[in-house]
Structure 1
Amino acid sequence: MIIKKTKPETANQLLKQFYAAPRATKVEKLIFSGVGGRDVYNITAPFHYDGEEVIMGRVEERDSEFSQVFFFTQSADHVWSPRAHTHTYNLQDPCVALIKSELVFGGVELVTAADNPRRIISWCTQFYRGTHIDSLCHFSSGPANMKDIRLIELLDGRVGVFTRPQGARGGRGQIGFTIIDSLDELNEQTFHNAEILQDQFVSEEWGGANEAHLLKNGLVGVLGHIACFDEQSHKHYYSCVFAMNPLTLEKTPLKIIAVRGDFPTGPGKRPDLEDVIFSGGLVRLGNGRAMLSVGVSDAEAYRIEIPDPFAEYE
């Protein structure tokens, strides 16, 4: 397919396009046990390991930002429970990728003040790798204050790295990309050297990559989010996708694929997070449909079946 050069559109412009094209959906709320009544949200898409279907989720008290990441498996009654004898991690917002047959797991670690362990002053993405889910080893750390780092094995065997710089280079949050030869090169310099994708978000808004898919033609389909503030400083997060040529960085326009209104009314962590969904992962079902896993209002986890958003890019 021909990759279009784009100029950024606002979240409101993308929302108008989204609502102009109704689609059939099927929604499922995920039920969890074994977490002491805490919320589970910002889940990954399910992946298969040792004959089981596994997801990871952010487990947290409603009034706290201090989280644990659990690995969950599903029982016959469709309840997700912590996987037996599997380590938990003091991290937020898990992500997972398969790189050369290794499971690569990432999550965001909070950094607190030396004189006050309840005051968060920074955060850092941590990465673990291994061939066995119960013996993953830490191997890389992202730069301070950078979330939404995602990895993908490309068609030529190299590793694509998505970043999310902020501040002087990235404003409120842009998406960067670079290619490394192997996971051994995943270091702080790699993250800083990533080239920012141009014309993706207007300066007042932000976004990030949440999961990457290698498409049959070698393009990378990116599941991500676009976000903005309203006049009351409330956040609005929407799930979106685009496709990218990893060699030239040419890309398709952003497209919103899911919004908070797709899901039932429910609890939220805070009033300013009511209109938030966080893209966790997507499974392409092979029949023109896909299953999207999301965190909703920083309090619940859902899956929604939608038209396969990457089909048109292949």
Structure 2
Amino acid sequence: MRSSSAERLAFTEKDYLITFRGLGGAAMVDGEELVSEAVEQTPDIDNSTGEREPEVEYINFDDIEAKYRRDRDLETEQRKCRKLIFRRGGKEIMDLTGYNTTHPILDKQYDSDSGKPYFVLRARMEERTDQKNSKVVAFRSNSAFSTEWDQVEDEEEELPVIIGQDPSVAELGDELFLSVIEVESVPDDSQAGSHLKWWPRFFKGPDIRHLVPFGRGPDWMKNVTPVKMPTLKIITFTRPQRPGNEALGGLGQIGEVTTDTIEEIVDPTNPDILQKAEHINTRFKPGEEWGGIKYGKPLMNNCIGVIGHISRFDKESPLYNEDVDEKPKIYATFAGIYDPRTRKINNIEIVAMYDEFVGVVPKNEYLEKIVYTTGMTEPDEDGKVMIIQGVGDAETWSKVIDDPFAGLRLPAAEQSLIVAT
């Protein structure tokens, strides 16, 4: 049983800042079948009534990390990784950091002389010491698997620079959805004199060139990820987050809400639909770990293949100090299969970790172990996919892996049905 609306929403911005600072500002950064010891199955109890919710699984980051490290060969995994190069006017962009991109989207409208298709991704670009003036910039390449991307400089009207951070896209049949995180500097009485407030801004359209804004999401939320199902319903994953208040997401849980249309997530008659999205039954350990889903793909049996990040504080780092706000963190990329009937993620496995990306220059030493998942390509003819992640809050890296959803993807006819409606 969920807490009442009043209880869930009676949490002010002041409350958030107090708990946020006390827990190290975790929200400022944006990682085979699960072995039994990696999940704790515990009936959840609603503190307001004492009634038991459906059985909830708590992911154990330490255990799935230990399994991943035990099964991998580090040098082999490192060879699968490549840094993405962003260019402007044919030269690598050196004065800005480029990271936390979308996954590549086919530019259906582009008419190139070569006749080859072009792909577009958007990247968060900013100066290394300034996250208040980030921009979301469009880049183009002729392959989704490319590691070299050229800024789109001559088509500002259709592919404009957008003010914001951490873009993500989702293909909803014949419609495209884009989310961009907007930020605002708010004065306060802290030593820094201000704090950042953020929320997602949503865009939609028939393709990457014709997107228009159509609403925004809740304050303090990232990772709003919609997926259109063969049933034509839209399942939207959220990342509620209120440090110190587990009912509102704590350090960061995964929520889920089902609608008939994407417009319903910004319906003015139901303004709290995303904030109130019920937490799924696979959860991160309260007060210790957090994460989110950044990419979803409809699969057979009405399931969804998901890619996301799982995170925790790096308490073994010499930089870790319980009494200071800024703490080192570890983010890893995970893949899994979400079942809407049980509201659980099955077959969770880590597919990328920080030590596989060699030569990264992080934004600062507290962020050197950040691997923030941003998306995945469609599989190539060899059954390989490229997962994309922002590393160290400063660079974008790819990793080519075996398709984690092999054998579960929808037949072409069913995929076409989603697109045709």
Give TM-score scaled by structure 2 length.
0.69
Q: 1:226 aligns with which of 293, 310, 315?
A: 310
Instruction: Tell me which of 96, 117, 125 is aligned to 1:59.
Output: 125
Task: State the Cα RMSD in Å.
Answer: 2.5
Among 82, 91, 95, the alignment partner of 1:37 is: 95
Q: Which residue of the partner structure matches residue 183 of structure 1?
A: 262
Moved over 4 A (4+): 2-6, 75-78
CA–CA separation in structure 2 for the residues paired with 1:91 and 1:212: 22
1:112 alignment partner in structure 2: 185
Deviation string 1:107-142 (CA, Å, 9 cap, x unpaired) is 1110222699x9443100111011243331111211
Return the offset for 1:275: 0.4
Match of 2:250 among 134, 158, 171: 171
Q: Deviation of residue 217 (structure 1)?
A: 3.0
Q: 2:292 aligns with which of 177, 190, 208?
A: 208
Alpha carbons of 1:196 and 1:13: their partners in 2 closer, same or farther (altered >3 Å)? same
TM-score, structure 1 normalization = 0.91
Q: Give the equivalent residue in structure 2 for 1:156.
A: 231
State how far apart, in whole Å, the 1-side matches of 2:217 and 2:70 are.
Answer: 39
Residue 156 (structure 2) pairs with residue 91 (structure 1)? no
Equivalences for 1:281-300 in 2 at 5 Å? 281-286=375-380, 287-300=382-395
Match of residue 71 from structure 1: 138
Q: Which amino acid aligns with 1:94?
A: P
Offset of 1:264 from its aligned partner? 1.0
Structure 2, gaps ≥5 residues long:
1-32, 42-56, 109-116, 321-326, 410-421
Structure 1 unmatched runs, 5+: none
Once the two structures are overlaid, the 10-residue window that deviates more, 256-265 or 23-32, is 23-32
Pairing of 1:270-285 with structure 2 (within 5 A) = 270-285=364-379
Equivalent residue, structure 1, for 2:174: 101
Report deviation, 1:245.
1.6
The corresponding residue for 1:82 is 151
Q: Deviations over 1:203-261 (max 9, x none)?
A: 11101111111113321011110001123020110001221122441331532110011
Correspondence for 1:197: 280
Identity over aligned pairs, percent: 29
Cα 1:247–1:78 change in 2 (3 A) is closer
Rounded to whole Å, the distance in 2 between the matches of 1:276 and 1:313 is 30
- The structure with more strand, counted as a fraction of residues: 1
Residues 166-223 of structure 1 show CA distances to partners (whole Å, capped at 9, x for unaligned) of 2232110000001100012012322023110124211111011111111133210111
Q: For residues 285-308 of structure 1, what are the alpha-carbon distances to aligned partners after superposition, in whole Å with 9 as ceiling and x for unaligned?
A: 253422111111011111111122
Q: Counterpart in 1 of 2:61? A: 11
Q: Which has the larger radius of gyration?
A: 2
SS in 1 for 2:130: coil
Size of the aligned set, in residue pairs, is: 312
Check conservation: 1:200, 1:254, Cα contact below 8 A.
no
Give the 3-state SS of the residue equivalent to 2:59 in structure 1: coil
* Structure 1 residue 313 displacement after superposition: 5.6
